[in-house]
Amino acid sequence: MIPAPDFPPFYPPRRILMGPGPSDVYPEVLAAQAKPTIGHLDPLFIGMMDELRSLLQYAFQTNNPMTLAVSAPGSAGMETCFVNLLEPGDSVIVCRNGVFGERMRQNVERCGATAIVLDFPWGEPVDPTAVEQALKQHPEAHFLAFVHAETSTGALSDAKSLCALAQQYDCLSIVDAVTSLGGVELRVDEWGIDAIYSGSQKCLSCVPGLSPVSFSPRAVERMQNRSRPVQSWFLDQSLVMGYWSGEGKRSYHHTAPVNALYALHESLRLLAKEGLEQAWQRHAAMHQELKAGLEALGLTFVVDEDHRLPQLNTVWIPSGVDDAAIRSRLLQDYNLEIGAGLGDLAGKAWRIGLMGYGAKRENSALCLKALADVLK
């Protein structure tokens, strides 16, 4: 018999998380997750799920009945949108201006669909003029997919204009809002977004592991009229919705992550208590404070201010500076985590997050003081 391992309990240090995610978690959210576990078909838990759906509708600014939290991280939310809407032979215009636009392309092709890729420079938003030209050139495309807030660069695209184009050319829009939900303006119904997904661990400042999603009536109709079953049993929303929205007794689909859903309920409750527009304004204000300090240190931004994410500040690493050594010192000396560059920006940029609970003056001040010290 293999001997039993004998390890001490794990006690993580208290880090200040200022990378691209996860963000610092609200203390109330951590406390919520520690509440007693009850059954996922318990009437009290089902009542909490109804509240959670209403809170998600508020955060997304939508009345879509098909709004829920996928029991998996944001990447599963992405896959949920693609596998439920796409079938082999479909054509999708995919806008790629960073790592997560590329992941959209991979999802399209794994569904057996054709990706018509529009490339844009890293650090720049998706250009609506180029998108409209592609929509004219490809009438066979019935979907437009793009990242609202590109986490790999910190660039914010004009989701309102892009979704208006999708509607004009009779396409369904699929939108990545993993880093935008709760941090910048996002209005699902007003902008006509058809399928959208996010993550619990960014501006919602919840524990990682859940993916809020929402589908418009147009998207639901498309899903109901599929010619073949969804290729993923677990992510098939026609099965999951019987659990989230069943009348009276709900059908069993999977064992929901009960305590993680407590946490998401609390984080969304705190967002509603603060007010969505107030949260957007707080992120913008904290960005301005951090921006002034970073520029005073001689650091320059990758993304122009007109389309820069306030909650994810990507700056060029100064010439001659050792990327890994600086981030290691920040972690060791200040318990402060910032993010490395990703993809084309690996080794060239840092990604500094100001998300949710972490978008506050003391975090910004600590980051600036620590960077000033380690960059000497």
Give me the residue spans of the domains in the chain.
16-22+276-374, 27-272
List, for residues 289-327, the tens digit of each pLDDT value: 999 999 999 999 999 999 999 999 999 999 999 999 999
Q: So what's the pLDDT on residue 322?
A: 96
Q: Beta strands 114-119 and 91-96: pairing type?
A: parallel
Q: Is 320 left (phi over 0), alpha (psi -120 to 50) or beta?
A: left
> What's the average model confidence in pLDDT over 260-269?
98
Number of H helices, E strands in the chain: 13, 13
**Cα distances (Å, whole numbers) of residue 368 to 118, 184, 306, 349:** 37, 23, 23, 16
The answer to whether the beta carbons of residues 301 and 138 sit under 8 Å apart is no
Q: So what's the pLDDT on residue 245?
A: 67
DSSP one-letter code for 306: G
pTM score of the predicted model: 0.96
Measure the CA angle with vertex 157, ends 155 and 161; round to 5°: 170
| Distance in angstroms (rounded) separating the CA atoms of residues 72 and 76 | 6
Q: Is the dihedral of CA 283, 312, 177, 166 positive or negative?
A: positive
> What's the average model confidence in pLDDT over 90-98?
98
Helix extents (H) in 27-137: 27-33, 43-60, 74-85, 99-110, 128-137
| Distance in angstroms (rounded) separating the CA atoms of residues 339 and 124 | 19
Bond preceding residue 229 cis, omega within 30 of 0: no
The answer to whether the beta carbons of residues 212 and 197 sit under 8 Å apart is yes
Q: SS3 of 80, please? A: helix
CATH number, span 27-272 = 3.40.640.10
Architecture of domain 16-22+276-374: Alpha-Beta Complex (3.90)
List, for residues 208-253, the tens digit of each pLDDT value: 999 999 999 999 999 999 999 999 999 999 888 777 765 555 677 8
E-only strand ranges, 97-234: 114-119, 143-147, 149-150, 155-156, 172-176, 195-197, 211-215
Q: What is the CA radius of gyration of the chain?
A: 21
| Distance in angstroms (rounded) separating the CA atoms of residues 66 and 55 | 13
DSSP one-letter code for 308: B
Whether 282 has a pLDDT exceeding 60, the answer reads yes
Q: Is the dihedral of CA 16, 20, 22, 26 positive or negative?
A: positive
Q: So what's the pLDDT on residue 5?
A: 95
DSSP one-letter code for 345: G
Whether 31 has a pLDDT exceeding 60, the answer reads yes
Q: So what's the pLDDT on residue 251?
A: 72
